[in-house]
Structure 1
Amino acid sequence: MTLGMMAAQVAAKAVDKDATVHKWHVFQHVREARDAVGATDRALAILNALLSFHPDTAFNGDSDLVVFPSNEQLISRANGMSPATLRRHLAVLVQCGLVIRRDSPNGKRFARKGPNGEIEQAYGFDLTPIVVRAQEFKDLAEAVVAERRALKLAKERITLCRRDVVKMIATGIDEAIPADWRGFQRAYEDIAGRIPRTAPRQSYDAIAGELEALWLEVQNTLETFVNSHNENANESHSERHIQNSKP
């Protein structure tokens, strides 16, 4: 038994009886945070099927959340897979603490009903972790979305900086502005050559930071030249004005 399995079972025993969650909302959060949770796409397809076998959409902390479909029913509702694949990904769900296995003495899944037809004891998969860990899954999903947004922004920073730096260097060269434009070009090519195809967001942030520093240096070089040129032009204009004003 893994620590995740033990944690899920301990948490299930301490479930808030007043808690209520929408099972499909929680499933969406789990799917969004599947990498952080440790679930595979196939495992999520099976979890989706398991959730569909429970008649309620709202899961309560005091509800019986054990479902007991056969392997054949699960395979059919999970869009088909081999029995071996089903067993492997069911194990993933259990190891991730998304479901708890409630085994019968003979290892089969079934429900024992009372005299009035109500279920007295069910053996199968307990979906209580969906209630117990609902907030955890929501927090993980929000973190994943935030990280994805930050990654997108980092890539946009790189794209914008690359465009501007290339244009400014070209302007400096075309206008014959005195500066080390070859040095700027080499610095740009060095940074651009290290932009990864796929990498953690922190790597893109670091590259964006280098490009922004280069952008600032090139921008300052151009602005210094423009300001100096304007000052010289103003001084020349003032001198001509003084000369023209003499009697």
Structure 2
Amino acid sequence: EEGDLIVFPSNAQLSLRARGMTPATLRRHLAVLVEAGLILRKDSPNGKRYARRDRAGAIGEAFGFSVAPLLARAVEIESLAAQAVADRELLRVTRERLTLCRRDISKLIAAALEEGVSGDWEGISAMFRALLARIPRVATAEDLAPLLDEMGLLRAEIVNMLERRIKTKKIDANESQIEHHKQNSNPDSTYELEPGFETKQGEKAAAENDPNAGPSDERRLKPQKLSGGMSN
């Protein structure tokens, strides 16, 4: 019954349960709950909250706040509370993703400037600063979602520019290696690459054409003939 759903705590008890809430703040919150239809007032003749009991100690009549509307909307309130928790978690995840995206863009722009990658980096930096200026201090996940999408597109564009730079450098390096390989494979460059080998080949050919030529060690050991006879 509705009479069993009337509570009658004093303001002092409510303040204690609310961890020391001031009387003015307590009265304001109670008025909001009444206005929202979550509780109903049942005032006593003197305006105080209390209960009358019979001789057996059972409550006969009580004056205070009826929580019957709160009980009737319990399922609705539970659903709203769950949605609030989900919204808070979504906001946390969105803020985290936005922070990571901001860091990525800052690092990518710094790397591009350091490597001297061609591009309108001044314009890209200005676009990035404009996006940062649009982030509100107090925002919902719905407020941050469009900004996160735009920052994601900007990050993807910067990554594409850097990847094109890397591919260009790889192509240049491959072409340089191919050209170097062609030079090494050119038969006309043998003399330039191996001059010592060519000199030795020439000396060997000259020695073979000279009939008086012999091994160098043999020429050194062979005695020389004297031009005149020797007397005993």
In the alignment, structure 1 residue 81 sits paired with structure 2 residue 52: no
- Normalising by structure 2, report the TM-score: 0.67
How far off is 1:217 after superposition? Answer: 0.7
Find the counterpart in structure 2 of residue 193 from structure 1. Answer: 133
CA distance in 2, matches of 1:80, 1:152: 29
CA distance in 2, matches of 1:167, 1:73: 56
CA distance in 1, matches of 2:21, 2:178: 86
Unaligned runs of 5+ in 2: 188-232
Per chain length, whose mean CA-contact separation is higher, i.e. which structure has more relative contact order (CA < 8 Å, sep 6+)? 1
In the alignment, structure 1 residue 214 sits paired with structure 2 residue 154: yes
RMSD between superposed Cα atoms in Å: 2.8
Find the counterpart in structure 2 of residue 41 from structure 1. Answer: none
Deviation string, structure 1 residues 91-119 (Cα, Å, up to 9, x no partner): 22212233222334665533233443212
Q: 1:112 to 1:228 in 2, by over 3 A?
A: same
CA distance in 1, matches of 2:25, 2:129: 48
Deviation string, structure 1 residues 180-206 (Cα, Å, up to 9, x no partner): 111211211221222222223322222
- Number of residue pairs matched by the alignment: 186
1:234 to 164, 174, 182: 174
How far off is 1:145 after superposition? Answer: 1.9
Unaligned runs of 5+ in 1: 1-11, 14-62
Find the counterpart in structure 2 of residue 112 from structure 1. Answer: 52
How far off is 1:124 after superposition? Answer: 1.6
Matches within 5 A, 1:135-214: 135-214=75-154
Runs of 4+ in 1 over 6 A off after TM superposition: none
CA distance in 2, matches of 1:77, 1:197: 33
The one-letter code matched in structure 2 to 1:97 is: G
Deviation string, structure 1 residues 33-55 (Cα, Å, up to 9, x no partner): xxxxxxxxxxxxxxxxxxxxxxx
Find the counterpart in structure 2 of residue 4 from structure 1. Answer: none
In the alignment, structure 1 residue 121 sits paired with structure 2 residue 64: no
CA distance in 2, matches of 1:222, 1:229: 11
SS at match of 1:230: helix
Structure with higher Rg: it is 2
